[in-house]
Amino acid sequence: MNAVPAAAARRIGPFEVPALGLGCMNLSHAYGVPPTPQAAEHLLRTALDEGVTHLDTAALYGFGANEELLGRVLAGHRDRVLLASKCGMTGVDGRRVVDGRPETLRRTADRALARLRTDTIDLYYLHRLDPRVPVEESVGAMADLVAAGKVRALGLSEVSAATLRRAHAVHPIAALQNEYSLWTRNPEEGTLAATRELGVALVAFSPLARGFLTSAPPAPDRLPAGDIRRAMPRFGADHYPANLALRHRLAGTARDAGCTLAQLALAWVLSRAPHVLAVPGTRSVAHLKENLAVLDLAVPAEALEAAGAVLNATTVHGPRYDEATLAGIDTERCGPAG
């Protein structure tokens, strides 16, 4: 396992971007109370100033509010970034709905273009596989968006290697975005190898383990209503104390390596293969800069190996989602029933 090369640039389809982008979900969605629009815009403008050129959003995030946020910030700067968004999972009457029907995807794309204030989305993902709709039909509709000039490249999110291969046979898939971190190793059960074979970028979301592998891990008993981590077993009372003990050991490894825990965790993800990228999210300018600094660090291979031995699919306590949520996700399972 090699150290992360300085300022590593990696490819997503026809695009070349730094190995770290920015996941924008928590600026509008899922984690506690969103920041003010002014604070969110400041974070995004700082990211642009710091050289971030890969921004990741979705129709679901804030039920359109996140795309609107990026549309405002990118006005006049659109050509500076690889802009990624997602369809196939949206908010309908206050509820999250998975809908991969072609007519829904076309409608979602048109609304996204309007909110993002752009003529073309660089990378458009199918956010979740709709079990009622063959992936070939969903991807076929997305391929029509490419032909119409509304989208430049296609991606999939949270799907298995088998589904990736089926989709790739319909239209080339530029990126697969799956959860991947020290404590979530599902890609190692198939998609890491399949993406390498097919020439598809593997974009890791939640590479910092939902904030667990940062300088300020969440206190589960203080999470506000609506925070998605309240329903995640790894943050529950039955598992969190044991996971915190593993985190304490990782923090020691990071100190010995001369980096922060977040930097160690990100370096580990990027070290997995040259086609792996990551899109950590943050609301903090300080944490944004801390994360980006990993591109200029050469974390020792011994530290990366030690980190992977401490926290992995065997040592983590609890599955990543509850059973009902796992039943609706197409990825390979890994670790304790997850």
Q: Nearest 5°: phi and psi at 163?
A: -70, -40
- Predicted confidence band at 94 (pLDDT cuts at 50, 70, 90)? confident
In a domain, residue 241? The reply is no
pTM recorded for the entire structure = 0.96
- Decide if pLDDT at 5 tops 50: no
In a domain, residue 34? The reply is yes
**pLDDT one-digit tens code per residue, 200-252:** 999 999 999 999 999 989 999 999 988 999 999 999 999 999 999 999 999 99
For the chain, give the number of residues. Answer: 338
DSSP state of 201: E
Q: What is the mean pLDDT of residues 2-11?
A: 63
Note if 61 is an active site residue. yes
**pLDDT one-digit tens code per residue, 45-82:** 999 999 999 999 999 999 999 999 999 999 999 999 99
Residue type, 320: R
Q: What pLDDT is attached to residue 4?
A: 44
Range of the domain at 70: 15-209+269-299
- Where would I find the beta strands (DSSP E) of 53-132? 54-56, 82-87, 89-92, 95-98, 121-126
Q: Give the mean pLDDT of the chain.
A: 95
Total structural domains within the chain: 1
SS (H, E, C) 278-319: ECCCCCCHHHHHHHHHHHHCCCCHHHHHHHHHHCCCCCCCCC
Q: What pLDDT is attached to residue 120?
A: 98
Q: What pLDDT is attached to residue 189?
A: 97
In a domain, residue 333? The reply is no
Please report, for the domain that includes residue 281, its CATH number.
Answer: 3.20.20.100
Q: What pLDDT is attached to residue 32?
A: 85
Question: Considering 61, 124, 125, 180, which one is annotated as catalytic?
Answer: 61
In a domain, residue 324? The reply is no
